[in-house]
Structure 1
Amino acid sequence: MTELNLSLQIEDVNVLSDAVRTWYRHNHATPTEQSTQLLCSAAVDLYNQGHRTREELITLLIMKFDSLHSLDVNALTSTSHH
């Protein structure tokens, strides 16, 4: 799992968490511990790759995980996320 850089500013953390919350709203999904861990890890990875805006992160999370089922451990695409 990706480590969160402790030097992040509160604004950065808010952007990351908002992107994850928006992903759940977009997919009409209820958060679970496992799905939230995976989405947060993916959001931090994207942030570390230089995607720093809310819009970028939301778009990329939605593209990478097109439904709640794409977060399942046994999903066909799950190997690309772990």
Structure 2
Amino acid sequence: MALGIGIFLVVVGAILAFAVEASVSGLDIQVVGWICMIAGVLAVVLSLVMNAQRANTSHTEVVERRDVGNPPPRY
């Protein structure tokens, strides 16, 4: 899910930084676009790192055997 959000932020940021030429008083739309692109790239990288760590996880099953037929020796 974070991978999709990251790609979305990169696309929206690129549109704001390069395609929109509107001006809003007190807000620089190009800077907002660059911030969105940086946040999107960071989200994509973190998502890929987390997925790589999840893929390298190994699980081992611990089985306890009990021998019911022979009781342990008494000393």
Relative to the length of structure 2, the TM-score reads 0.29
Relative to the length of structure 1, the TM-score reads 0.27
- Please tell me whether Structure 1 or Structure 2 has the larger radius of gyration of its CA atoms: 2
